[in-house]
Amino acid sequence: MSIFITFEGGEGCGKSTQAKILYRRLDKLAIPVVLTCEPGGTTLGKKLGRWLKWADGIEITPVTELLLFNAARSQSVTEIIQPSLKEGKIVISDRYADSTTAYQGYGRGLDLKTVKEVNLAATHGRKPDLTVLMDIPPEVGLTRKQGQGRKTDRFEQTELAFHQRIRAGFLSLAKEEPQRWLVVDATRPREKIAGIIWGRVSALLAKEKEPS
């Protein structure tokens, strides 16, 4: 039963929380499942992620961001995602290629065709079966992050307009492939959101069990 599920959204949307909730629910049902994240799912990804989020006094260009995120992604696909799917496991990824399209394409203004081509090479053409978009107004999400009482990273420090473009980008991507995306209002209660996501995942599980 190999299903690839990704969680996407802007800063403070709660996607990491919902990815963990789904992981724990599947694990309790004894369904083989793997939870990973970008860019930190692998040893290489963790090192690249620290540079991308916390590099002080270093100018990282949008193209460099595009390439570094995809370097981490390629490693994750090769090391975690593809092998797990081949073993018949469900793979849940906290962020994937759509994040790069939204952040570096729509947010930073890079050519979308170029971004998608680099993403395609890094993912080896592997697309998610389901992408959950935790949609939230950027000002609400950023306020949530600030309320956590920790240092803000490079992306969280960027102007509000950047985050507004990211949200518009995610919504545009979801509109292009409605069959793949589940758009959820991330301002709703955590339990309600988890129930909506589980309803969609349950349908995927039932479809996988149908005789071919």
| Residue 207 pLDDT | 84
Tokens of 40: 């930190």
Mean pLDDT by 10 residues, the chain (212 residues): 95 97 97 96 92 83 96 97 97 98 98 98 97 97 81 87 98 98 98 98 87 60
| Residue 58 pLDDT | 82
| Residue 55 pLDDT | 78
Tokens of 197: 């996501």
pTM for the model: 0.94
| Residue 176 pLDDT | 97
| Residue 211 pLDDT | 64
Each domain of the chain, given as residue ranges in start order, spans: 3-209
> Comparing C-alpha atoms, which of 162, 181, 157 is closest to residue 8?
181
Dihedral angle, C-alpha 55, 20, 82, 86, nearest 10 °: 170
Q: How many residues does the chain have?
A: 212
User: What region does 96 belong to: left with phi over 0, alpha with psi -120 to 50, or beta?
Assistant: beta
Sign of the alpha-carbon dihedral angle for 126, 180, 92, 49: positive
CATH superfamily placement of domain 3-209: P-loop containing nucleotide triphosphate hydrolases (3.40.50.300)
| Residue 149 pLDDT | 66
